[in-house]
Amino acid sequence: AQSVTQLDSHVSVSEGTPVLLRCNYSSSYSPSLFWYVQHPNKGLQLLLKYTSAATLVKGINGFEAEFKKSETSFHLTKPSAHMSDAAEYFCVVSEVGNEKLTFGTGTRLTIIP
């Protein structure tokens, strides 16, 4: 069975400082992992996707994530936070043989001016 755990429900960082949103996954088979972002009153937008081609995945808006199999982690990072990054971020897993996406509980990112 597939599942993800987002370790922080809320993260606050100052503008211009690094962002780290943590995600651990559980999967019986080789997983695909995603990060989606949801801005207030908006839909879900794909930030990036891991599919085993490379462990460091670069996404949109300067975000990237590193797949670490030994730690079953897929943390999302950004070197320098911008006010427009304030949103809810979801770590998502999909494994072989399972068409559905399983979402984490989300991490709300607040940017302090």
Partner 1 sequence: DSGVTQTPKHLITATGQRVTLRCSPRSGDLSVYWYQQSLDQGLQFLIQYYNGEERAKGNILERFSAQQFPDLHSELNLSSLELGDSALYFCASSPRGIDQETQYFGPGTRLLVL
Binding site for partner 1 (CB under 8 A): 31-32, 34, 36, 42-46, 49, 51, 90, 94-106
Cα 74-39-54 angle, rounded to 5 deg = 25
Only one residue has tokens 């922080």, namely 8
Say what the alpha-carbon torsion angle 13, 14, 15, 18 is, to the nearest 10 degrees.
-50
CB of 103 to partner 1, least distance (A): 4
User: Minimal distance in Å, beta carbon 71 to partner 1?
Assistant: 21
| Cβ closest to partner 1, residue 39 vs residue 79 | 39
Closest approach of partner 1 to the CB of residue 80, in Å? 26
Instruction: Find the radius of gyration of the CA atoms of the chain.
Output: 13
Q: Which is nearer to partner 1, 73 or 90 (CB)?
A: 90
C-beta of 30 vs 80, nearer to partner 1 = 30
Smallest separation, CB 13 to partner 1 (Å): 23
Distance CA 70, CA 34 (A): 18
- How many other C-beta atoms are found inside a 10 Å radius of the C-beta of residue 2? 21
The residue among 55 and 105 lying less far from partner 1, judged by its C-beta, is: 105
